[in-house]
């Protein structure tokens, strides 16, 4: 296909989408056709450092550091905000950001503040971060990305891995209609069970630490009583050799969301973390899910 001709066509479709932006909510989406891109089409992508500043609920001045991947074209694009796992970084999702952006998604991956040994976000230390401060970070990122001129605010997707999947699920339950759909790699919904009844003290773990505040915050949390408040569709990708997030937690998530709106992919032989062929399968699955939920 001639790239210039398609780019013009895509611009028209995206311009029409821009006119629909603001109709909002599920009712508005029902009147919009799914976006269709030729299978071989790829947008050119520009990447930049992107910071999000906000004041958290305890009065701390937080600056989130991350990278923004933007497809180059006219009109408004859907967006994906990516949340890393325990002691992770924004760069953990470089492959996903490049792939998603090339298919027409503005992608933002950032460091949760205080949540890793060498993160670039500032304003909160390791003793002060919890899943709930991470939720505040993610909400601030959503709010900022929604305001970008090239983003369709009605089509913001959340994506997270492990602890970032756990936070993604909790955040989507709060934001509800501000989130079009969510996707997760091996969401760590086991976190409250792992820390329930444990001493509320700083605890070394996997090259970093879990603070007393973190442990205290999840002691009485039942994530399944919360996450079902999100009414949109859900994609979960999990490996059947995952020793950190057992299948019982995944099965319960499917039961909570409902099988009719949960797209579960189990990758044989994959553990807690995807690489090689498993990573290609996981990225492809999430991208297919996103495209099946993206409107023109």
- Per residue in 260-286, pLDDT (tens digit) is 999 999 999 999 999 999 999 999 999
- Per residue in 69-123, pLDDT (tens digit) is 999 999 999 999 999 999 999 999 999 999 999 999 999 999 999 999 999 999 9
**Phi, psi angle pair for 182, to nearest 5°:** -130, 150
- How far is residue 154's CA from residue 288's CA, in Å, rounded to a whole number? 19
Mean pLDDT value across residues 135-156: 98
The whole-number pLDDT of residue 248 equals 98
Residue 106, helix vs strand vs coil = strand
**Phi, psi angle pair for 91, to nearest 5°:** -70, -10
Beta-carbon contacts of 231 under 8 Å, excluding residues fewer than 6 positions away, are 176
The whole-number pLDDT of residue 82 equals 98
The whole-number pLDDT of residue 28 equals 53
Neighbours of 42 (CB within 10 A): 14
- Per residue in 162-205, pLDDT (tens digit) is 999 999 999 999 998 899 999 999 999 999 999 999 999 999 99
Print the domain residue range for 178.
Answer: 3-291
Structure tokens at 279: 């990573």
The whole-number pLDDT of residue 30 equals 62
Within a domain: 231: yes
Does 209 score more than 80 pLDDT? Answer: yes
> Which of 208, 210, 190 shows the shortest CA–CA distance to 200?
210
Structure tokens at 120: 């670039």
- How far is residue 10's CA from residue 75's CA, in Å, rounded to a whole number? 9
| More confident call, 14 vs 38 | 38
Does 128 score more than 90 pLDDT? Answer: yes
- How far is residue 234's CA from residue 264's CA, in Å, rounded to a whole number? 8
Structure tokens at 209: 């630490």
Distance between terminal CA atoms of the chain?
A: 20
| More confident call, 4 vs 251 | 251
The whole-number pLDDT of residue 8 equals 40
Burial 233-246 (b: 16+ CB within 10 A, else e): bbbbbbbeebebbe
| More confident call, 171 vs 6 | 171
**What confidence tier does 21 reach under pLDDT thresholds 50, 70, 90?**
very low
Question: Which pTM does this prediction carry?
Answer: 0.90
Distances (CA, A) of 134 to 18, 41, 112, 128: 31, 35, 6, 10
Within a domain: 62: yes
- How far is residue 156's CA from residue 82's CA, in Å, rounded to a whole number? 11
**What confidence tier does 31 reach under pLDDT thresholds 50, 70, 90?**
confident
Within a domain: 296: no
- What's the CATH number where 198 sits? 3.40.50.1820
Q: In what order do the strands lie in the sheet with 77-83?
A: 45-55, 61-71, 106-110, 77-83, 151-161, 181-185, 233-239, 262-267
**What is the number of structural domains in the chain?**
1
The whole-number pLDDT of residue 17 equals 38
Mean pLDDT score across all residues of the chain: 91
Does 6 score more than 70 pLDDT? Answer: no
The whole-number pLDDT of residue 63 equals 98
Within a domain: 84: yes
């Amino acid at each position: 296909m001639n790239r210039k001709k398609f780019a013009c066509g895509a611009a028209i479709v995206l311009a029409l989408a821009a006119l629909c932006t603001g109709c909002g909510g599920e009712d508005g989406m029902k009147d919009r056709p799914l976006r269709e891109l030729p299978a071989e089409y790829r947008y050119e992508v520009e990447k930049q450092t992107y910071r999000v500043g906000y004041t958290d609920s305890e009065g701390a001045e937080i600056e989130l550091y991350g990278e923004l991947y933007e497809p180059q074209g006219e009109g408004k694009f859907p967006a994906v905000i990516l949340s890393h796992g325990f002691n992770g970084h924004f760069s953990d999702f470089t492959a996903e950001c490049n792939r998603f952006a090339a298919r027409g998604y503005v992608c933002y991956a950032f460091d949760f503040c205080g949540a890793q040994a060498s993160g670039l976000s500032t304003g909160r230390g390791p003793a002060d971060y919890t899943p709930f401060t991470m939720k505040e970070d993610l909400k601030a990122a959503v709010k900022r990305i929604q305001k970008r001129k090239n983003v369709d605010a009605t089509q913001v997707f959340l994506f997270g891995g492990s602890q970032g999947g756990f936070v993604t699920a909790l955040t989507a339950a709060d934001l509800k209609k501000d989130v079009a759909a969510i996707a997760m790699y091996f969401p760590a919904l086991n976190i409250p069970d792992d820390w329930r009844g444990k001493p509320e003290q700083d605890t070394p773990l996997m090259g970093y630490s879990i603070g007393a505040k973190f442990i205290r915050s999840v002691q009485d949390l039942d994530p399944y009583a919360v996450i079902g408040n999100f009414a949109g569709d859900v994609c979960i990708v999990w490996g059947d050799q995952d020793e950190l997030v057992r299948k019982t937690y995944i099965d319960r998530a499917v039961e909570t969301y409902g099988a009719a709106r949960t797209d579960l992919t189990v990758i044989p032989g994959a553990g807690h973390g995807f690489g090689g062929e498993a990573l290609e399968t996981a990225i492809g699955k999430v991208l297919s899910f996103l495209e099946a939920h993206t409107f023109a």
